[in-house]
Amino acid sequence: MDIYQVRAEKVVKRIEELALITEEEGCITRTFGTKPFLEGSKKVFDWMLEAGLLTTIDNIGNVRGKLLSDNPQAKTFVIGSHIDTVVNAGKFDGPLGVLMGLDLLENLIQSKAKLPFHIELIAFSDEEGVRFHTTYLGSKVVAGLFESNKLDEKDCHGISLKEVINEMGGNYHLLPEDKIAEWLGYFEIHIEQGPVLYEKNIPVAVVTGIAGQQRAEITFTGVAGHAGTVPMDMRQDALATAAEFVLETEKLALEQKDKIVATIGKLEVIQSASNVIPGKVVCTLDVRCAEIDVLNAAYNSIKETCYSVAEKRNVDVKWNLVQGTNPTKCDETLTNALKEAISQSGHPVIELVSGAGHDGVPISAVSPISMLFVRCFKGISHNPLENAETKDIAAAIEVSDKFLEEVISNRL
Ligand code: HGY
Ligand code: MN
Ligand code: MN
């Protein structure tokens, strides 16, 4: 069996092991700071330690393994992805990039590669932003971009981010010390989470950019009432208002389906009962686009639509922009090296823009970034059916080895 297939099987074995650690029996959920999350981090920590990396867990819960150059003044090349998950997740989104990164470093150690720069493998602690509805907490700390006003954000149980950091054994006062001062570059391997490679029957693609995204939390406040006595034309129904808003948003996104996507992923009827007209509804909005002007225009027209639907129904709206990230470009030099590695490995070079967000977004402010996509089953992700074939992981390992050789020999 070829060496890449052997290495890929070891990556998959570790992915399967990590996937057994979850908050909910029967599905995969490891959200920032929970006990299963910490158990998963410890497992990755132990693997990094076993591999011979200088391993630590920083104040925001990132698991970090360093392979040092002999030159103490050298810059750092980071390889990473995230180990937190969405709810009822697949097993590859995040862990694939962390455990393939670990394999790449194990291979460098085994081949006694002389490193002109430090390489740091990072398992980011909160890329998905499930618990506090704000993403990239781990990578923002490493990039020195963490906003301390996020420390008072509360989760659905009223627990603040700073309390969770303390519970994890971190010290939020020391977060600024966890940043990497001198970056050489960043490389992330991730499943495509889209159907292109599956349709084209190609194992890998190079990522040229990451779409921008706007995330908002919207509260509709009407009047709760008796389901049996309030005439239909006298209601201020918060749920009917939210429902019309959801369909109007879908209609607007469909009209621009080649450029934008818009999703209302969460909707909660507050103090709901089957015989009460909903008085209060909270929902989320997630809008994405690779072009900033189109993204802003779509976001603003969705917001205007929201207010006009609510006004028509005499319902109040509170609109809170939770986070906005601009479209991000991958570094040309690193991306060309990745294209070269793909063609040297015998694959056609496919260039894709990622609709999904990744930790390279905040990191791009302080470092050149690069990403390699791996084909996944029908493009399915954020779903337990998510799957990547071992042979595609083997192909991605071969490409990544060649890419790293290029970076090391030319210090791109
Ligand atoms: O939602 C996303 O873009 C990614 O899964 N964090
Ligand atoms: Mn991901
Ligand atoms: Mn994800």
Q: Give yes or no for a contact between 180 and 159, defined as CB atoms under 8 angstroms apart.
A: no
Question: In the chain, which segments carry CATH 3.40.630.10?
Answer: 3-211+327-410
Instruction: Kindly report the backbone phi and psi dihedral angles of residue 324, in degrees, each rounded to the nearest multiple of 5, phi listed first.
Output: -135, 130
Q: What is the pLDDT of residue 95?
A: 98
**What percent of the chain lies above the pLDDT cut of 70?**
100
User: pLDDT tens for residues 20-41?
Assistant: 999 999 999 999 999 999 999 9
Q: What is the pLDDT of residue 134?
A: 86
Q: What is the pLDDT of residue 1?
A: 75
Instruction: For residue 356, give the ligand 1 atom closest to its CA.
Output: 3
User: pLDDT tens for residues 310-336?
Assistant: 999 999 999 999 999 999 999 999 999
Neighbours of 43 (CB within 10 A): 17
- Residue among 88, 96, 135 whose CB has most ligand 1 atoms within 8 A, to mutate: 135
Report CA(72)–ligand 2 centroid distance (Å): 32
Question: In the chain, which segments carry CATH 3.30.70.360?
Answer: 212-325
Q: What is the pLDDT of residue 84?
A: 98
User: pLDDT tens for residues 96-148?
Assistant: 999 999 999 999 999 998 899 999 999 999 999 999 988 999 999 999 999 99
pLDDT band at 66 (very low <50, low <70, confident <90, very high): very high
- Residue among 32, 128, 289, 376 whose CB has most ligand 1 atoms within 8 A, to mutate: 128
pLDDT mean over 201-210: 98
Report CA(97)–ligand 2 centroid distance (Å): 9
Q: What is the pLDDT of residue 411?
A: 60
User: pLDDT tens for residues 135-154?
Assistant: 999 999 999 999 999 999 99
Q: Give yes or no for a contact between 97 and 22, defined as CB atoms under 8 angstroms apart.
A: no
Q: What is the pLDDT of residue 412?
A: 66
Tokens 């360093």 belong to 66
User: pLDDT tens for residues 150-191?
Assistant: 999 999 999 999 999 999 999 999 999 999 999 999 999 999
Q: What is the pLDDT of residue 259?
A: 95
| Mean model confidence pLDDT for the chain | 97
Beta strands in 74-113 (DSSP E): 76-82
- 3-211+327-410: which CATH architecture? 3-Layer(aba) Sandwich (3.40)
Q: What is the pTM of this model?
A: 0.92
Report CA(71)–ligand 1 centroid distance (Å): 36
Report CA(193)–ligand 2 centroid distance (Å): 8
Ligand 1 site, CB within 6 A: 127-128, 135, 356-357
Beta strands in 222-368 (DSSP E): 225-226, 260-263, 267-269, 276-277, 280-289, 316-325, 328-329, 351-354
* pLDDT exceeds cutoff 70 at 273: yes
pLDDT mean over 378-394: 98
pLDDT band at 80 (very low <50, low <70, confident <90, very high): very high
pLDDT mean over 291-314: 98
Q: Give yes or no for a contact between 393 and 11, defined as CB atoms under 8 angstroms apart.
A: yes
CA–CA separation, 64 vs 301, rounded Å?
A: 42
Task: Give me the residues near ligand 2 (ion), CB cutoff below 5 Å.
Answer: 93-94
Report CA(128)–ligand 1 centroid distance (Å): 6
Q: Hey, whose CA ends up nearest to atom 6 of ligand 1?
A: 128
Q: Give yes or no for a contact between 88 and 63, defined as CB atoms under 8 angstroms apart.
A: no
User: pLDDT tens for residues 341-372?
Assistant: 999 999 999 999 999 999 999 999 999 999 99
Instruction: For residue 355, give the ligand 1 atom closest to its CA.
Output: 3
When the candidates are 3.30.70.360, 3.30.565.10, 3.90.230.10, 2.120.10.70, the CATH number that belongs to 212-325 is: 3.30.70.360
* pLDDT exceeds cutoff 80 at 289: yes
